Structure 1
């Protein structure tokens, strides 16, 4: 990779342009950071409003902005649980808390610790083992096992200390790690705070800022640990994120290039222990020991070479010192001699391969793009996405993930409110009050998060109040209208469809028709995308060009105008649900219940339907009661049309069940039966279509007998 300065500078500038074109530019980096911080705040507010004392952090490449569409990096999620008081000094002991003293000595790998249990009533060592999560060591200390936080989610795979949760098509996979917070900055990082390289990355002010961030202990031991069940890794992830946020765009591009090279040449099959975190560490050491003016786009190729040389030196010495906790060797026990020799050869070949290696990279079409930039080959029209199209693609995927987090948080809160020993209305009111406090007194991110959740939950609360009132006097209380109004703008459709359902059930067809007509006018199919988080389903059609454009040109506030959530009715809202949809609340036989996952159980007792199909179904029913039969036929045709054309809907089986019942009302029994059979093809179990088939066959038999 050593060339003349003129050639190197030209190559660097073109390489930087390519990386900007594939989304590693200042605008996209900031967009990724902002949206990921918002998603973390929404999840944190959800946890805290449901009485779980935890903070959620989104870390890693997605939150740093150091990824591309081709790299498709996971979201690294750290759930910090405040169940324990983790202390380094006796002065941090707290009465009434589960106190754990960090032990770092010659028996513990550098960068790790043991956690010794202390008494909660007086500052003394605990002598009694309280549960199977603890063990007494050879000198009588009661130590906490690191398996305490290793409980795996049902929808996840185990990857070390993390739970890997698939995101499905178009959504980002998530690695979830549970952690306990430390009271103070680790003593093992003191050298980091005192040292100063020639680079200006870490000014004293920056170091103080990094040190002010929380650090954690994570349930994971080192590869060379003598006590793999007892070691806890000390994590300074928040401090590391601060460092990444301080880097300039050239430094970020260099890191992205290292990850692309790792994935393309060094470890394409993910067989070695060489990781992107080691690449990041090598780059940070290079930045700390070079002048800042070196890190400019005209030197990108040279900077990449320095980082690869540093990485090769780490592998050669089998020592990659953690950037903050330098005594922690990230490569300790990671490689066999054969793996080491293989990695050294691959890194050496990449360095010696010069730009030819870069031209062979297929991730994000980087090699092809670079050849075009260098005028080696002509650009084939439409062969690759241009920079604007890439930014639109990235922005739309980010906002889809944000919408999914909002939708999933609603599910989480609803599951919480129906399992507490108080009235459902009061439970949900208490949650909304907590969210209202966050919207006033929280930081900017918490205010946005709480407003999103308040909107989607207010419609449910209003509907619950109406459902109780309908039984008594078939009236819509003023308080319910207030909550339903607050939820109108939760998205394009779902809040309005809840209100329309209320008026439909009390027989006010004029208001129902007016709301449905307004809702239809707001739903521009060229812009609006359906989002459902009930389960991970593949998207059936591409995102619209107009949706992508709006996501790119506007910020996250546009989500309320371009996203359509599914409509969810709890069983206690049954009186606000049309009769045809009520069957979805009884979708499961006793045998079906055995085939539900934990995630399914959050929504399968509800009546859940995608917004656009439900809009057309309600129109069909409303126009029928208003004797506007031409409009009713138009609504039925629209419902049939979106089923035939497809769309990114999550509850196709429910839509088919509604269409089947419409066909029954049209006396088209064969078509109705076909709808129910297609519904079962979509979801074999936990599907109300089985009941509809039995009911339809019984109806047909009665007609034959008559």
Structure 2
């Protein structure tokens, strides 16, 4: 790669410019990693642990690496470490209280895979009796664990080792990979350490880190192996993620371009032949072969050509060694006699086109933008796409946090006030000294709920001590986001008859709720969401403090479980009993949300203002808030509970004796959600009122 023609330098710079423009730059890459690893990964782990599950969740793949674009539509690969299991290579590593399995790697096991022999729970000795349908006694008398033990998980679709999570409210479809932790590097992966000890990349420090990091085993066997039903694949995802985190921006762009080329020219015809993981492996091998100063912005095209030529050679020889477990040939048995020549011909076309094939890439309009750049008439704002990506990333995290909180409340809704209080107190006490941001994000919402439950127990009673405790917990949840925590406090004051303090809190919320900036975030269920505001996107792109942004420019739903009923205005209490006997037949087992009262923050803010001004007799302010509710319902695109807001507005109209408009509100609400909607009750009551009048 020493002799590089001038056109390649110019083309490389233009390619780098376009990659920057579509969001493959240092800022977006780091933002993806921070949000994916520090927030979303931690949030999932926190939710599992709060629910009493001894599991850790880790993200791997393009999303957390920052090696994707919107047009690539990359999945989120989530590995769930089941910590009650322990995979060992020597019986001295056996742990009491865990389900221990001995890793077996011999000449009968495919490279990169292992068998798991089940050991006894009381002593580090092999189990001699089959215990269930997930085990099998082989001809040597060993009790082996089948890799099919995770089939049948709820709401998942099997895809190799992964189980695609689908149709779960508030959460994108993603790949869930149940895995057993292995805290000692397998012998097969140890050969890599010696092989790369003298190379300049990875460095000695990187090699040491990879050698010390944990591995996992996941439930999938080598296709075509005689032991396919019993083999478990050894996953070195942590080490791979670490190496990807140490790539420079040109190397990342090279990988993204390889995936774009794969999608444009090969995947449509041969979807299962060359995977993005193979491209990643080829890239890492290429980096290890070259000097680090080779990978620069003005050499991007040359580096890409080198990687594609290496990929061509791998396909031609049907040999692509796993970077850590070199005995594992990723391309073994991947190509049929019919597909291989066509794939090679396609790769040869791309390589020999001298860059012309890049103009055919439609993914993220890369080819179009590159052509415009080469002709010096780019007609697009270079910051538009990166700012949209930044807004989307923070929005997904806010939705994810809201969905996580709702999930936890659904598990608490059926408890008595005493049991719910004990559960929340235990969780908050156990994690109040945690420094992890995810814990703080979740526990702030939980503190608001706990304070509301305590207040609900003693409202209209003179229990000043409990009321003071309720206020102290409420104060801990005030900045969970821009509005929902404060609205819970305002609800408590209103239901306790403290109208002056209710008005003060509502004024504070309105002051900080910037209508041109704040985005409502509902993760309660899936619905088509509109693009976030440009000002929201711009601030997300400019700031590196995503944790602060979640508190300042997002508004979560306001949620009341039945234990909080006395802190929930009567008009909203109807939402806790929205399901008729007929509706119940159309609900799933997990649809406990319908037994809670949930409303978007902004219309609820205006509703509470209406009720407050009604108590204070301020007619002009009251009429203004009614207009605000109606306008919000009509113009705010991302309301998740629009039907609830309409039900609240309809009840306000009834209180104004405007029965015709009240009926219109309920009818419109019923059109949005035909089942599990309290609008049915309101319509019946309204018709009864009209008839009797």
Which position in structure 1 is the counterpart of 2:8? 8
In 2, distance between residues paired with 1:617 and 1:100?
58
Task: Go from structure 1 to structure 2 and tell me whether the alpha carbon gap of 1:299 and 1:502 turns closer, same or farther (over 3 Å shift).
Answer: same
In 2, distance between residues paired with 1:372 and 1:395?
25
In 1, distance between residues paired with 2:402 and 2:169?
17
> Would you say the 8 A contact 1:535–1:599 is kept in 2?
no
Q: Which of 515, 531, 538 lines up with 1:542 in the alignment?
A: 531
> Would you say the 8 A contact 2:169–2:403 is kept in 1?
no
In 2, distance between residues paired with 1:270 and 1:562?
44
For residues 463-542 of structure 1, the aligned pairs below 5 Å read: 463-470=452-459, 472-473=461-462, 477-539=467-529, 541-542=530-531
- 3-state SS of paired residue (2:338): helix
- 3-state SS of paired residue (2:210): helix
Which position in structure 1 is the counterpart of 2:86? 85
Task: Go from structure 1 to structure 2 and tell me whether the alpha carbon gap of 1:84 and 1:349 turns closer, same or farther (over 3 Å shift).
Answer: same
> Would you say the 8 A contact 1:471–1:575 is kept in 2?
no
Which position in structure 2 is the counterpart of 1:298? 298
Shift of 1:68: 1.5
Task: Go from structure 1 to structure 2 and tell me whether the alpha carbon gap of 1:595 and 1:503 turns closer, same or farther (over 3 Å shift).
Answer: same
In 2, distance between residues paired with 1:117 and 1:238?
25
Which position in structure 1 is the counterpart of 2:408? 413
Task: Go from structure 1 to structure 2 and tell me whether the alpha carbon gap of 1:549 and 1:235 turns closer, same or farther (over 3 Å shift).
Answer: same
For residues 248-287 of structure 1, the aligned pairs below 5 Å read: 248-268=248-268, 271-287=271-287
Matching of residue 553 in structure 1 with residue 538 in structure 2? no
> Would you say the 8 A contact 1:13–1:297 is kept in 2?
yes
- 3-state SS of paired residue (1:73): coil
Matching of residue 459 in structure 1 with residue 441 in structure 2? no
Matching of residue 579 in structure 1 with residue 570 in structure 2? yes
Matching of residue 60 in structure 1 with residue 55 in structure 2? no
In 1, distance between residues paired with 2:41 and 2:455?
33
For residues 112-131 of structure 1, the aligned pairs below 5 Å read: 112-131=113-132
Which position in structure 1 is the counterpart of 2:633? 643
Q: Deviations over 1:301-333 (max 9, x none)?
A: 111111111112222222221111111122223
Which position in structure 1 is the counterpart of 2:561? 570
Shift of 1:270: 6.7
Shift of 1:472: 4.2
For residues 379-458 of structure 1, the aligned pairs below 5 Å read: 379-380=378-379, 384=380, 386-418=381-413, 423-439=419-435, 446=436, 448-458=437-447
In 2, distance between residues paired with 1:199 and 1:641?
65
In 2, distance between residues paired with 1:570 and 1:491?
19
Q: Deviations over 1:524-562 (max 9, x none)?
A: 1110000011111111x4311111111111121222100
Shift of 1:172: 5.3
> Would you say the 8 A contact 2:170–2:523 is kept in 1?
no
Deviates more, 1:359-368 or 1:471-480: 471-480
> Would you say the 8 A contact 1:49–1:435 is kept in 2?
no
Q: Deviations over 1:427-451 (max 9, x none)?
A: 1011112221322xxxxxx2x1122
In 2, distance between residues paired with 1:418 and 1:213?
40
Task: Go from structure 1 to structure 2 and tell me whether the alpha carbon gap of 1:598 and 1:217 turns closer, same or farther (over 3 Å shift).
Answer: farther
For residues 227-266 of structure 1, the aligned pairs below 5 Å read: 227-266=227-266
- 3-state SS of paired residue (2:103): strand
Which position in structure 2 is the counterpart of 1:356? 356
In 2, distance between residues paired with 1:248 and 1:283?
12
> Would you say the 8 A contact 1:535–1:600 is kept in 2?
no
Task: Go from structure 1 to structure 2 and tell me whether the alpha carbon gap of 1:624 and 1:418 turns closer, same or farther (over 3 Å shift).
Answer: closer
In 1, distance between residues paired with 2:434 and 2:76?
25
> Would you say the 8 A contact 1:391–1:552 is kept in 2?
yes
Q: Deviations over 1:134-165 (max 9, x none)?
A: 222233221112122334342x4433222323
In 1, distance between residues paired with 2:484 and 2:566?
17
Which position in structure 1 is the counterpart of 2:603? 613
TM-score (norm 1): 0.93
Shift of 1:171: 7.8
Shift of 1:342: 2.4
In 1, distance between residues paired with 2:594 and 2:170?
23
Q: Deviations over 1:363-420 (max 9, x none)?
A: 222112212222x26333xxx3x33222211111111122122212212332344567
In 2, distance between residues paired with 1:546 and 1:175?
32
Task: Go from structure 1 to structure 2 and tell me whether the alpha carbon gap of 1:542 and 1:604 turns closer, same or farther (over 3 Å shift).
Answer: same
- Which structure 2 segments of 5+ residues have no match? none
- 3-state SS of paired residue (1:180): strand
In 1, distance between residues paired with 2:7 and 2:168?
43
**Aligned CA-pair RMSD:** 2.2
Q: Deviations over 1:538-596 (max 9, x none)?
A: 11x43111111111111212221000000000100000011110011011123323323
Which position in structure 1 is the counterpart of 2:27? 27
Q: Deviations over 1:335-365 (max 9, x none)?
A: 3222222222221221122211111212222
In 2, distance between residues paired with 1:15 and 1:172?
31
Which position in structure 2 is the counterpart of 1:96? 97
Which position in structure 2 is the counterpart of 1:443? none
In 2, distance between residues paired with 1:695 and 1:346?
69
In 1, distance between residues paired with 2:192 and 2:180?
22
Task: Go from structure 1 to structure 2 and tell me whether the alpha carbon gap of 1:639 and 1:401 turns closer, same or farther (over 3 Å shift).
Answer: same
> Would you say the 8 A contact 1:168–1:538 is kept in 2?
no
In 2, distance between residues paired with 1:477 and 1:74?
47
Q: Deviations over 1:227-254 (max 9, x none)?
A: 3321111100010000101111111110
Shift of 1:107: 2.5
In 2, distance between residues paired with 1:187 and 1:389?
49
Q: Deviations over 1:659-695 (max 9, x none)?
A: 1211222222232222222212212222111222222
Which position in structure 1 is the counterpart of 2:583? 592
In 2, distance between residues paired with 1:694 and 1:230?
61
In 2, distance between residues paired with 1:21 and 1:638?
39
In 2, distance between residues paired with 1:608 and 1:416?
15
TM-score (norm 2): 0.95
- Which structure 1 segments of 5+ residues have no match? 440-445
Matching of residue 317 in structure 1 with residue 317 in structure 2? yes
Which position in structure 2 is the counterpart of 1:442? none
